[in-house]
Amino acid sequence: MKNFLRELSRDTPGMIGFVIVIIVLALSVFASVIAPADPLEIDVYNRLASPSWQHWLGTDQLGRDIFSRVLYGGRVALKVALISISVALLCGLLLGMIAGFGPSWLDRILVVCFDTMRSFPTVMFALAIMTLTGPSLNTVIAVIIITSIPVYARVVRTQTLAVRNLDFILAERAMGASTLRILRDHILPNISAPLLILASMDVPAVVGMEAGLSFLGLGVGPPTASWGSILNDGYSYLRNSPWPIIAGGIPLILVTLGFTFLGESMRDILDPKLRGKGALNQ
């Protein structure tokens, strides 16, 4: 960790991303302490008010404090991202290692399952599930998990196949090491870096999907604060006040920039072989 932080401090974009991520996490975790007002409190006399000392980002169409709603909306976004990515990563790790280290017939079956699950467009699949089950936060998390597992499993399978025939793995097998020990002590440490990089890069995509579904009314239900619902309210009353749109859009931009910069820096630090390739590909 010390080496990672030292290398990160030498990378300006990485440090900027790290600071943004820490600030977003802190504001979301301590939203109940920082928020100047109850995000659900209605004040129709001050509806669509401009920013002031009392309401730093103004109020929405019901007079609710937008700054407070943005803070609590960060809790929803990060909750969806952390839960869905963690579960999808663990499931993908297990299935990918089984496919990459198991028998060839099992590998073929799992690959077909991965490709079948990935063949459905994510947004269309989410809309279909939401239509059948109704909008809810748990449904959003379930959809993201289902669509993300094949991605992580594919990456893990590829990395496992690349490592399983190396000399030190063959030596361990010749010495009678169990499959579980080989996977835990040798393969997992060698494939963890690409997974961490991929997970950090996926956070903005997951947050954006949750915001998009909430914008369409298929995510968290009202009156729960969400960045997507704030954008939806702002779009409906854009001619009256631009502040809800601005307040709902800025966090999405910051989260995207923060995790993207941090992910690219992690890629260069944890996997030096890929250093500079991202810039060349762009």
Q: In tens digits, what is the pLDDT along the chain, a chain of 282 residues?
A: 677 778 888 888 889 999 999 999 999 999 989 998 889 888 888 888 888 888 889 898 888 999 999 999 999 998 999 999 999 999 999 999 888 888 888 889 989 988 888 887 877 888 888 878 877 888 889 988 998 999 999 999 988 888 877 777 778 777 877 778 878 777 888 888 888 888 888 999 999 988 988 888 888 877 888 999 999 888 888 888 888 899 989 999 999 999 999 888 888 887 655 554 443 343
CB 214 within 8 A of CB 220: yes
Chain segment 75-103, per-residue pLDDT in tens:
999 899 999 999 999 999 999 988 888 88
Question: For residues 136 and 80, what is the distance between their CA atoms, to the nearest angstrom?
Answer: 11
Angle between helices 137-163 and 66-101 (to 10 degrees): 40
Spatial CA neighbour of 205 closest among 135, 139, 151, 276: 151
pTM across the whole model: 0.84
Question: For residues 230 and 76, what is the distance between their CA atoms, to the nearest angstrom?
Answer: 12
Question: For residues 60 and 225, what is the distance between their CA atoms, to the nearest angstrom?
Answer: 12
pLDDT at 22: 93
Give the residue numbers spanning the domain of 149. 2-281
Q: Let me know how long the chain is.
A: 282
213 token code pair: 């579904």
142 token code pair: 């379930």
Domain CATH for 14: 1.10.3720.10
Q: Where are the alpha helices (DSSP H) in the chain?
A: 2-9, 12-29, 31-34, 66-101, 104-118, 122-133, 137-163, 167-174, 179-182, 188-215, 227-236, 243-270, 277-281
* Domain total in the chain: 1
Question: For residues 182 and 173, what is the distance between their CA atoms, to the nearest angstrom?
Answer: 8
Q: How far from 47 is each of 43, 52, 78, 103, CA to CA, in Å?
A: 7, 13, 28, 64
Question: For residues 247 and 227, what is the distance between their CA atoms, to the nearest angstrom?
Answer: 8
Chain segment 212-223, per-residue pLDDT in tens:
888 888 888 778
| Identity of the residue numbered 78 | L
CB atoms within 10 A of CB 97: 22
